[in-house]
Amino acid sequence: MPGVTIEVKYFNTFVLKKTLSGQYVTNQPVWNGSFGVPSTVAGGYPVVADTSQGTPFAIEESRIRGGFNNTSVDFSPRAFLVEENPNASILFSSLIYSGIFNSRTGVNDTNVFPVGSDITKSADPANGSIQKLYAEDTNMIVFQEYKVSRALIDKDAIYSAEGGGSVTSSNLVIGVLQPYAGEYGISQNPESFAVYGYRKYFTDKNNNVVLRLSRDGMTEISSYGMKDFFRDELNNIDTNAGPGVVRGAYDLYTDQYVVSMQQSPVYNTNTEFKTLTFDDTINGWPSLYTYQPDQMFSVRNNFYSFKNEKLYRHNSTAVGRNTFYGSQSPSSVTVVFNPDPTRSKTFSTMSYEGNNGWELTTLASDGTGKDYQSLNNVYLSTNDSANTVLSYIMGEYVINPTNGQAVSGTPTGAGVGQGYVATFGTKNPPQPRLHAGFDRKENAYVANLVNSSPAAQGEIIFGSVISGIKGFYATATFSTDRYTDPGGEKQLFSVATDFFSNNGY
């Protein structure tokens, strides 16, 4: 290092320093695998510090007490060795292996690296660094940033002139590397890897895909209806705050692959994240969850996750459904109605079959073409929307016979029946129950749709008295309410709507 002066008051001394150079770092001191040399005299060896770099140097003596013509030490093992090549290098695409370990015979050569033997295996550095190794039967899968390969263990492959190959026994520990078809890798997200049986799951952030490696090779499972979703989410997890993470695990309880994409900083609960599952039986992504795990794993058919250094067991009956890390969220399902797609329609009613406790939170038609708004100097698209349809319990009310006013059973901030208690002194007043939201007959729930959108140009009759919304298709979102059996089971079997064709107005 230029500009550094070290005064040595001893004879026959050596200043030892080892630097690391390569692709990633430059002139970084490395002390033979240690974490640094203390800046005080330790073990009889004087040490001085490099004040310009904050890195200590080791001063090693060749004569006892450092005196002139004192007895010289022999070339025995020393604390710091001078190597012919003082620069270390990083082989980011290479493997090195030691001797064998056998617990039955007491052989432990894991610290033996015979340099006279061929103990290294290198992959193509053009495919990036090796991020993960996975041993399967007698093969080892090597995951690089841009490629996935299979390495033979304790055997090698011999290829004929025609291109055919046969496996033969060999004294090689790691045989030839055979790449899988497809230009896919694991990027720099080895934490996304999960395995169940012979199926391996992982993500490739460089290609914005989620992959499954099985007996039939590589499959892009993110293309099963979610290609655009993963293209956007995987492309956005890295922010100016740092790289995000993609945590993966296999849920043995539900038999699904769980992947959680989290922006940086990953331990901040306010960051954006998406946690969802993939099911092989349907080749689809059935659920999008509201929890952000720090780690995930399965043990004996139970699925666990860590959050803020606490361990949680999922799918437990001891807590309410859709409750994660002590916080409960509503469940929601979004459906699209698109019958007779070439005709404009009016959707007049909404119905569903299932358990009580579902409400229609949003309902909107497709948007029109963008029109110029001179007031704001923007182009806007408009669409029809409907009022929220309350659930069977939340929309229940009775008429007060004293003043003829409607009294709701669940006013804001109160539980079921508290509105009746405040008015009648009981949760069960004798008046007939009416329903402003979904009404029920047997196990089917039906409600009229009330248009809540402003009038469009050319409409003859408009306003909140119009029943239904107009459009070529409609998007509806059903959610569980707050009061009906909180945390209980709420199934949704089917949804339907009544419509009739119109001329667009």
What would the pLDDT profile of 279-295 be if each residue is shown by its tens digit?
999 999 999 999 999 99
Question: What is the model's pLDDT at position 282?
Answer: 93
Tokens of 281: 């039986």
Question: What is the model's pLDDT at position 154?
Answer: 75
User: Distance from first CA to last CA of the chain, Å, rounded?
Assistant: 81
User: How confident is the model over 171-180, as pLDDT tens digits?
Assistant: 677 888 889 9
- Among 59-63, 274-278, 374-378, whose mean pLDDT is lowest? 59-63
DSSP letter assigned to residue 221:
G
Tokens of 449: 């749709």
pLDDT at 46 over 50: no
Q: Which residue has the higher pLDDT, 237 or 41?
A: 237
470, 384 in Cβ contact below 8 A? yes
pLDDT bin (cut points 50, 70, 90) of residue 131 is very high
Contacts 24+ apart (CB under 8 A), 99-104: none
pLDDT bin (cut points 50, 70, 90) of residue 38 is very low
Q: Which residue has the higher pLDDT, 107 or 72?
A: 107
Mean pLDDT across 188-210 = 95
Q: Does residue 265 have a cis bond before it (omega within 30 degrees)?
A: yes
- Among 41-55, 128-142, 347-361, 491-505, whose mean pLDDT is lowest? 41-55
185, 147 in Cβ contact below 8 A? yes
CA dihedral 410, 413, 415, 419 (to 10 degrees): -40
User: How confident is the model over 485-503, as pLDDT tens digits?
Assistant: 888 889 999 999 999 887 6
The amino acid that residue 9 corresponds to is K
Q: Which residue has the higher pLDDT, 386 or 502?
A: 386
What CA–CA distance (Å, rounded) separates 184 from 220? 10
Return the percentage of the chain with pLDDT > 90, whole number.
44
User: How confident is the model over 304-355, as pLDDT tens digits?
Assistant: 999 989 999 999 988 888 899 988 889 999 999 999 888 888 999 999 999 9
222, 232 in Cβ contact below 8 A? no
pLDDT bin (cut points 50, 70, 90) of residue 357 is very high
For tokens 């409409």, what's the residue? 459
Question: What is the model's pLDDT at position 36?
Answer: 43
- Among 7-21, 208-222, 356-370, whose mean pLDDT is lowest? 7-21
Question: What is the model's pLDDT at position 111?
Answer: 86
Neighbours of 360 (CB within 10 A): 23
Q: Is 260 helix (H, G, I), strand (E, B) or coil?
A: strand
- Among 147-151, 258-262, 267-271, 446-450, whose mean pLDDT is lowest? 267-271
143, 132 in Cβ contact below 8 A? yes
Mean pLDDT, rounded, of the chain:
81
pLDDT at 403 over 50: yes
Mean pLDDT across 97-111 = 86
326 backbone φψ class: left, alpha, beta (φ>0; ψ -120 to 50): left
Return the percentage of the chain with pLDDT > 70, whole number.
76
* Integer CA distances (angstroms), 414 to 319, 372, 400, 423, 424, in order: 22, 45, 19, 13, 15
Mean pLDDT across 122-149 = 92
Question: What is the model's pLDDT at position 24?
Answer: 46
pLDDT at 44 over 70: no
Global pTM value:
0.74
Contacts 24+ apart (CB under 8 A), 259-265: 259/192, 259/201, 259/203, 259/210, 260/292, 260/293, 260/296, 261/233, 261/234, 261/237, 262/237, 262/292, 263/236, 263/237, 263/238, 263/239, 264/237, 264/238, 264/239, 265/241
Q: Which of 419, 439, 441, 443 is nearest to 431 (CA)?
A: 419
pLDDT at 230 over 70: yes
pLDDT at 136 over 70: yes
pLDDT at 182 over 60: yes
* Integer CA distances (angstroms), 415 to 279, 394, 399, in order: 37, 10, 19
3-state DSSP helix/strand/coil percent for the chain, to nearest 5? 5, 40, 50
Q: Which residue has the higher pLDDT, 59 or 93?
A: 93
Question: What is the model's pLDDT at position 42?
Answer: 45
